[in-house]
Structure 1
Amino acid sequence: MNTQLNIFLLLFGGIQGLLLSFFLVRKKLYTSGYLFLLLYLGVLLLQITLKVMSKLWLMENWTTLYLASHALPLLYGPLAFLFIKYFFAQKSFDSRDSIHFLPITIYLLVASLESKGIAPDWLDGLLFNPHFRLIALITSIAIYHVFALRLWKYNDSVHNPSSVEKNAQKGWLLQFIWFSTIIAVLISFVLYLLYVTYPAGHEYRFGFIVLTLFIYWLSYKALSQPGVFSVVYGPREINPLKTEVPIPAFRVYHPPVKYSNSGLNEERVKEIAASLEQLMKNERIYLDPELSIDKLAEKLSVSRHHLSQVLNDYQQKSYYDYINSFRVAEAATLLISPQGEKQKIAAIAYDAGFNSLSAFNEVFKKHTGKTPSEYRKEKLNDLRKQRV
C-alpha cells in the first residue's frame, strides 16, 4: 500500500512536470537561460520516472541507467547555475560551459564499463562507493549553488532593477536557488540511504515526494506570477519603426487659478515634476498593475493633491491618462518586438502594466486609433516590406 501511494504521488508530480514543460515551450522561452530550466525539469522528471520503475527490472535490463539514477544530482548544480548565468546574460550557449557536465559524463562512462564488467576495480570501487558518492554530490551541489547565489547578488547590485517584473523575477530566482539547493541535498541523502539499507529501507522512497512538491511550487509561480516567466532582463532591442505612441514630454508650467491657494509654489511644482519624470524613466513604475495615485504620491513623498496639481499643470492630463500613456507606449514597443510578436495580447497587456485585457484594448485604441491586434499586424507588415 505504501509503495502504491508513493508511486501515485510521484506520478502526480511527473504529470505536472510535463504540463509545466509544455507551458515553458509554449511561451517560447528558449533564451535567457530558460532552456536550462527546461533541462532541469527534465532531470526531475527522469529522477521520478526511474523511481517509479522497478529496481530489479532496471538492474537486470538497464544496469547503466540504474547506476546513473544515483548520480543525477550531479546535474542539479550545473543546470541551476547555468540557468541563472544565461538568464542574466541573455546570449547563446558558450561551448566552454560544457565542462560543467564533465563529472556526470565520466560517471556515465564508468557506469557503462561497469555494466559490461570491464571497469577498472579501483575506479569502480571509488565512484560506486556510496560514502564517496554522497560527498561528491553534496560538494557539487554546494559549489554550484553558491556560485549561482553570488551571480544573482552580483547582477542585483549591477543592474539594480526596479520595475515590478524585474523585482518579481529577482525574488523568484533567489527562491529557486535556495529550493534547488535543499531539494538536491535531500535527494542525495535519500539515494544514499536507499543504497546502504537495501533491501530494507523502503520508507526512504517517500523522500522523492519533495520532487513533486518542487514541481508544484514552480507551477504555482508560473500561474500566479506569469511575469516572472517573461524576458525582461538585458538590453531592450531597438524598434526599427518609430512608435506612434511617444512617451509624454513635460510642458512649461503655467500656474492655474484653481491652485492659487494650494500652498505649492512654482519652484516646488517644477521640483516634483522633475522627480516624477526621473521616476518614470528610471524605475518605470507605471509597469506596476497595482499602481495608484496614492502609491505614486508616497513614492515621491508628496501629497495626493499636490501630485494631481503637477499632472494637471504639466501634462494637462488626469492621473490615469498620464500613466496609461506610458503603458500604451510600452505595449506598442512590445507588440512588435522579436519576443513580443509571439506573445498573446493578454500577456503583453500584463507586461505593460494593465491588469485586465478589456481595459488594455480600450485604452490602447483610445491612444492609437487601433486595437492592439490591428496595430501589431500593420506594423509587422511594414517591417516585412522594409526587409524585402
Structure 2
Amino acid sequence: MPSHAVPSSAYALWAFIYIAAAVQAALLALALWRRAVNPEANRVLAVWVALTGVDLLVKAVYWNSLSPEWFRAYRFVALFPFLYGSLFYLYVRALIEARGFRLRDGVHLLGFGVMLALNAHVLMLSEPQMQALSARWVAGEKTIGSWFDLPLFVYSLSYVAAALMRVHRYRRRLRERRSDADRMSLRWIDVMAACQVIIWIIATTQWLATVPGIDYRLLFGAVAAWVCVMGWLSLNQSPVASEPVAVAEEDATSGAGDSDDARFPAVEARLSQLMRGDDALYREPALTIGQVAKRSGYPEYLVSAVINRRFGGTFWDYINRLRVEAVRVRLADRQDARTILDIAYDCGFTSKSTFNAAFKRQIGETPSGYRKMAATEGRAGA
C-alpha cells in the first residue's frame, strides 16, 4: 500500500511499468476489436484489456505524483476488478457459443454496479474531503476501501471457476464431435485463468498480512505482466469451433432413449465399412461426427450413441484409436521408409503431441520405440 516510506524512485519505476503496459493494452484492445478470428469473443476481450489499461494508467499517474486531484479517479478504477472476473466468464462463453454481448448480459456486471453505488458517496466528496482522504491513503491507512476486498475475491473467483466449468463441458462435447478436438480445446484459457489466480493470490496475501515486497505495486505489476501474456495468447489463438449450447442439449435429448435402437447393428456395420481401406474416413484430419453421420446416412445422435456404446469412448477416442492402429501397422512395415510424423499425418493426426500421447496410451510404447522393436523382431524372424 502506498506510504511515504517508499522512495520516490520506486514509484517512478512502477509508474513506468504501468504506463508501458497501459500503452500495450490500448494497442492490443484495438487489434482485438478489429481481428476477424473469433470476433464476438475478441470484442469482449478488447473491452476487458482496455479497462485494464485505463486502470494501470490512472494508478501510474496517481502513484507517481500522489496528487489528491487524481485520487477520485484512483478510487473509481479501484472498482474495475469487480468487472474482470465477469468479463473473463463472458469472454469464455463468447468463444464457446460464438455469441457476443447482449443487453441481458448486463446481469453479469451487477457486481460492479452495486459496488459503484456503495462507493458513490466517496466519489462525490468535495475537493477538501478528497484531499484529506488521499492523505490518509498515502499514509497507509488500511481501513480505506478494505471492506470490499473479501466480496471482491469471492465474486471474481466465482466467475473464474464458472468459466473453467464451461470450458470443461465444452472440451467434453468437442471430443464427442471432432477428431481434432485436442488442437481446438482452448488450452490458453487455462493459462489465462492461472494468471488471474496468481494475481488474486498476491492480492489476498497483501490483504491478510504484511509481507515485505508483496503490496499493491507488485499486485499491479502482475497485472501489467498479465497484459503482455494476454497479448501473446490472444493474437496467436486459432479459430474456435463454436457449438451453441442448444445444439448440444438437443443432441443429448435426442439420443437419451436410443439404448435399444434396432438400427444399432446396421449403424455399427456402416461405420466399420467407412473406416476400412485406403479411403477410410479417419484419415481426414479435421473429421467431425457430423461429416461421418452424413456419409453414413444416419442421424448424428444415432451415430454418436453407437460410437459411445458399441465402440466405447467419445468420437475423438474412436477415431484416434483407428488412426493409432493404422500408424502401428505402417511402422511395422519395413518397406515403409517414411518418417514417423509423415505416417501419423497421413493417417489423420494434426498434432505431434496428440499423436505421441494417443500412441503411447494405446500401444504402451513410443512410436519410435515401437518402430525399433518391430524392426528388431523382423530381422530376428528372417
Q: TM-score, normalised by structure 2?
A: 0.55
SS of corresponding position for 1:144: helix
Tell me, yes or no, if the aligned pair for 1:64 and 1:108 is still in contact at 8 Å.
no
Which string of whole-angstrom CA distances, capped at 9 and with x for unpartnered residues, describes residues 6-65 of structure 1? 112222222222232233233235734222211221222122112101259787435542
**Equivalent residue, structure 1, for 2:119:** 111
Match of 2:366 in 1: none
- C-alpha deviation, 1:95, in angstroms: 2.2
| 1:173 and 2:185 aligned | no
Is the 1:141–1:185 Cα contact (8 Å) retained in structure 2? no
Matches within 5 A, 1:255-294: 272-273=276-277, 276-280=280-284, 281-282=287-288
Alignment of 1:69 with 2:77, yes or no, is yes
Q: CA deviation at 1:76?
A: 1.2
Q: Which residue of 2 aligns with 1:150?
A: 165
Alignment counterpart, residue 198 of structure 2, candidates 182, 194, 199: 182
Question: Which of the numbers 238, 243, 255 marks the counterpart of 1:234?
Answer: 243
Q: Secondary structure at the match of 2:79?
A: coil
- Deviations along 1:60-103, one digit per CA (max 9) or x if unpaired, are 43554222222221111100111111211112433222111112
Are residues 279 and 181 of structure 1, via their aligned partners in 2, closer, same or farther at CA, if it must alter by over 3 Å?
Answer: farther
With over 3 angstroms needed to count, the CA separation of the structure-2 counterparts of 1:73 and 1:103, relative to structure 1, is same
Q: Distance in 2 between matches of 1:80 and 1:112?
A: 25
Return the letter of the residue paired with 1:158.
Answer: R
Q: Give the direction of change, closer, same or farther, for the CA distance of 1:109–1:75 in structure 2 (3 Å limit).
A: same
1:101-140 equivalences under 5 Å are 101-117=109-125, 130-140=145-155
CA distance in 1: counterparts of 2:215 and 2:89, whole angstroms: 32
Q: Does 1:21 align with 2:25?
A: no
Opposite residue 148 of structure 1, the aligned amino acid is A
Question: Residue type of the partner of 1:146?
Answer: A
Partner of 2:51: 43
Cα shift at 1:163: 6.0
Q: Secondary structure at the match of 2:196?
A: helix
Residue identity matched to 1:170: L
Question: In 2 relative to 1, CA 173–307 (structure 1 residues): closer, same or farther, beyond 3 Å?
Answer: farther
- State the superposition RMSD in angstroms: 4.5
What's the CA shift string for 1:121-170, capped at 9, x where partnerless?
xxxxxxx8644311111101221111111111111111226565862552
Aligned partner of 2:330 among 291, 304, 315: 304
Q: Distance in 2 between matches of 1:205 and 1:321?
A: 49
Q: TM-score, normalised by structure 1?
A: 0.54
* Residue aligning to 1:289: none
Matched, 1:52 2:60: yes
Gap change, CA 1:232 and 1:117, over 3 Å in 2: same
- Give the aligned partner of residue 159 of structure 1: 174
Aligned residues: 261
Corresponding position: 1:218 with 2:230: yes
Gaps of 5+ in 1: 119-127, 236-267, 285-295, 311-317, 328-388
Cα pair 2:202 2:214 within 8 Å, conserved: no
User: Where in structure 2 are the equivalents of 1:247-262 lying within 5 Å?
Assistant: none
Q: Distance in 1 between matches of 2:273 and 2:163?
A: 45
Match of 1:100 in 2: 108
Cα distance in 2 between the residues matched to 1:300 and 1:84: 36
Paired residue type of 1:33: A
Q: Does the CA-based 8 Å contact 1:16-1:215 persist in structure 2?
A: yes
Identity %: 17
1:207 pairs with 2:207: no
1:177-227 Cα shifts (integer Å, max 9, x gaps): 22223324534665x589x99xx999641331112211221223346xx2x
1:320-347: per-residue Cα shift (whole Å, max 9, x none)? 99899xx9xxxxxxxxxxxxxxxxxxxx
What residue identity is the alignment partner of 2:197?
T
Mapped contact 2:55–2:77 kept (Cα < 8 A): yes
Q: Is the 8 A contact 1:50 1:69 kept in 2?
A: yes
Deviations 1:227-249 (A, max 9, x none): x24343238xxxxxxxxxxxxxx
Q: Is the 8 A contact 2:283 2:347 kept in 1?
A: no
Distance in 2 between residues matched to 1:188 and 1:39, nearest whole Å: 25
* Distance 1:29-1:183 versus aligned 2 partners, 3 A rule: farther
Give the AA of the match of 2:226: F
User: d(CA) in 1 for partners of 2:181 and 2:29?
Assistant: 21
Distance change >3 Å, CA 110–CA 203, structure 1 → 2: closer
How far apart are the structure 2 equivalents of 1:306 and 1:202? 58
